[in-house]
Amino acid sequence: MNISQEQWWEDAQNDSNAVILDVRTEDEWNEGIIPGAINIDIYKGQGFIDALEELDKSKTYYVYCRSGARSGNACNVMNQLGFEKAYNLSGGIMQWQGPVVEPQS
């Protein structure tokens, strides 16, 4: 499900079950992330699926990428795998007006 930036961020902040998921590449991740995000690169194919399968499906996932396309695909994959709550950030980090931080190594 695509949701607006404001709704996405507000929901993520107010949801005790929230996980912010960045599905970009490691190089993109290193350029800056939305605070609190974890990274699983959608381009890893089966590795992406395997990593998703290790996540807690009862949590709520707020998913983003660069422009919103990959994260939209990621939400679809997550739904097929049994994740009931996966929300795509419309416009991705390129249109993101909220905070961006350096990832911790």
Give catalytic residue positions: 65
Query: What are 24's two structure tokens?
Result: 């970009």
End-to-end CA distance of the chain: 31
Rounded to whole angstroms, what are the CA distances from 17 to 30, 32, 57, 65, 69?
25, 23, 10, 20, 24
